[in-house]
Structure 1
Amino acid sequence: MSVPPYLLLTTFGERLQESMSNESKETEKVVRLTELSTSGVMGSLPGRFTDYNDQFVQTISDSGDILEHAMNRGGQNQEEASANSNRNIIQSVHYDEEMADLGDFAEEDSVSVSRNPNDFDGEEHEDGSDNVNGDAKKRSKGSIGKNYPLPTKWVTSPNSPLALSQNGLNVKFAFRQSQPAQRHYDVKCAKGNAVIPINCGVFYYEIRVLNASSKNYEKACDISLGFMNAGELSNISKAPGLENGTYGFHGADGNVYANHTLSEKYNKPFGINDVIGCGVNFTNKTIFYTKNGVHLGTAFKDVYSPLVAVIGMKDDNAIMTNFGQSDFAYNIEGYVSQVGRKLKAKIMNLATKTDEDDDVNMNASTGTLSNNPSSLDLYTADTEDAIFYDARALVASYFDYLGYVDVCKAFAEEISEDDEEIGITNVAGDPIDTEVLQIRQQIRNYLIKGQLDEAISLTRMKFPSVFEEDGSILFELQCQKLIQLIKESKIDEAIKFGHSLSADLSSESSKQLDHLNDIFSLLAYQDPSESEFGYLLSNEEVLKLCNRLNGEILKSLGKTRESLLSSRIEEVKALISSLNESEELDSLILTKKDLGID
């Protein structure tokens, strides 16, 4: 086996070739062990094989000594995994002062509606849906809840005018404000009591509007719900979506907002008795909403961070929440099952022909999942050929993502020649935009060489929208310039440039000021690389910045910020993690039946 010519143009390819020339053949036992792991039989924790009886182990493989080795090694892996899990505890959202026990305030509301979470009625709603609880499903009682402390109630900041019921699920104002709420600044917010980790795959919750201050309270209300980025745990003073790092669906106008920007006219406003659901799908990085059991479609895309549930309201509004303690109005289990099937299909390159990020098949009138076989048509190409061509597409897209001009050309030429030999055309994909690739590669080279002014200037000239849409990336580049000056021992110039950066920041930019102070701290050490801030000088930080800027450039060109290969890897990781966390040990074995293959 030899390394393909296009790979030899990379440092990785050269090292791989050298490694292969010096590498001896693996023993048959090691090969067999690798095959078992790759097939999904052993999962990522081979030690769990010990949970099966000896007869079952012998049935899977005749190499008993290999499995014994796997069990021993797996036992060590389990201990290491346990130790690592203790170091990676998901942060809970809490405040220094607990709210007083306000008890249940259901009977105090001015509008008489059902307060029992199980009393979601089957009346017909204005959007045409009926029997909203007919297909309702409880949140799955899998292992996710045990490993990740998902939200179970709301919490508020000290002295907040919002009152919580004893179980933390009902929210309303504890007292009436002296002046009527006029603007979004008067909105008060509560947050979920735990961070929603990316590993959970899909998270969903629902609220029911109990009271509304709007004059047209049956159709609209001053209530908004959504998420905020987990890294921004400071109190929010505006409705979700009207501050950076937040996403919200507003009942007053039916619009969705993100990062203080109106995204689009999403749906009709919602009011009293409406059941509004909010969910995040980390597998395709989207946020969606439901109304009275009907899926409303994707509201936001490119959601990359762990989130915190958040609810906002003005005076005289009240809501009841369901974090999964009772039946949901929307069939979330059906949604999750379909997401799981799509993930498995993607792994084997059997994704549907109309596969899109937000293409969960819904019936617009009933809100039910489609069971039409035509909606899940699979490619008819031979599975092995499909995997082969998909792998080539992944490799090509990754080289394009990195901006490797020569490698892209060599790879495209090689696969084109192979296709001509077997009579296949148009498999290589779209023509390579050499000019854009060269510019991106030049910007990357500037960053690696520490030529920050040149990198900023070229980016601004060729991709001006990058800095216009996201000013934070420009600040990061300027900080890297400051670090580069410190690396080159240009202390006076570094101090002068750092002061100019600091002067341009507002008092609200606390995170940026803290980062700038960390960089300045390097000047206090004779050998900055040995200080606690020495990591700022590392090449790894430069590469992170390269990838960050490259992602923003790709986004400005209408592409995704991460490579297709990276997305597939994350999807596979999420699926494997889900399988290994299942309470059913047989789920460690990925069979053809699981993938819908006869």
Structure 2
Amino acid sequence: MVANHESEAASAAAPGAGATVDPMRLASRWRSPAEWEFAAAELDAEPLPSELNTVNSSGLFAVVSTDKLSVKYLGSHLHGHDVGVVQADRPAPTRRAVYYFEMGVKNAGYKGQTSIGFTSGSFKMRRQPGWESNSCGYHGDDGYLYRGQGKGEPFGPKFTSGDTIGAGINYLSQEFFFTKNGSLVGAFPKDIKGPLYPTVAVHSQGEELTVNFGKEPFCFDIEGYILEEKMRQQSMTDKLKLEENISHVIVRSYLLHYGYQDTLNSFDMANATDPPGSRQNGHREPPEMYGLSHRKLLRQLIMSGDIDSTFKRLEEWYPQVIKDEKSVICFLLHSQRFIEYIRAEQLEDAVTYARAKLASFLTHKAFEGLLKESVALLAYEKPAESCIGYLLDCPQREFVADAVNAAVLSTNPAMKDPESCLYSCLERLLRQLTVCSFERRAFNNDQGDAFLLHKEVRNCERSHRS
């Protein structure tokens, strides 16, 4: 990540006097594909149960499939501890809205004492799930629910050969739930702490089960269930009363912040209202109105690749932004000018420019990542098709435009908060939403889904592709 290398005096400057901003904190900041892949891997890093753990088990069963997803009872079923119980190879993942798995009763056997549920890592592996503390189980022979004690309670229908039974954890509502043949049986409060393992058990001669951890389609519509649960949570949020026209204010402030003047004018015309927020806090106009026409033109110049004109306009309108030739803004503009030479296939000009303008940044380790990847474009016959070809795409220009926009906003005497230069009201709300969702997850012992904008965007892209 590129750090800010303005002088300490500039760092201490008051907002509105050309205060230092760190554009590498922008939402659109430059990232290499390796960074994005690492971020995506972190989102999906939580390991999932994939098979049954035949090592840490009661031993009173036989694995009857090579994929370790099927078991058959081998014990004598004479006593309560003659249970063939087996856990998944990993505990249920917790950083999600819901976890769910299913078992198929291939054969109910002599007594039909199959069961499904969740157990802790220290669970006694000779007992049915739900018969010991820190466990719960739904049992087929009586349809009872067992929650940490030998005595059960009426819960749902019995199940037998041919039935598919599911067990899940709803982290949104902090509940366990069970299903039968694709229908929800019931739910109850999740009062067990710590990692929990998906667990199945057989307890009489001939009983045989198969387990599905998600490799095959579930009998129960788990995606529909999750969507319904999220909508239920959303309905609770929708009941909250918000200030009138607040969404209009948020959208308008976003357009103002980033200098989209033409879109802003169209937005105001479409709404046919007196621009809200123009009288906020006693000001005649919001601080984001500052330099709007200038910021609009600067964005247009950068997005069209005209960096030379961008420098000229900044020198004319906001010389303090590029006064320090070693600043991060100057570096971003110079690196973008170099990239534009590559885009235009003017390689000799690119080399000359790099020697004249980029060489001075070689000693700044904070600029090393982007600088190396930019210069590396010279090594490819077809840079746009290379692994760093993303630097030639519009998002890179957009990042530079956002950085310049933030720097210009920082010169506004009415801008009291330096953070306001970096983020629009909408972005600050999204950041607050992220923090609050992680706080809620921490309150629930680090269990449950959390809002991550990049994850939501990826999910939307997947749904559109499907």
TM-score bin (small chain): 0.3 to 0.5
TM-score normalised to the size of structure 1? 0.37
TM-score normalised to the size of structure 2? 0.46
Higher relative contact order (CA 8 A, sep 6+): 2
Larger radius of gyration: 2
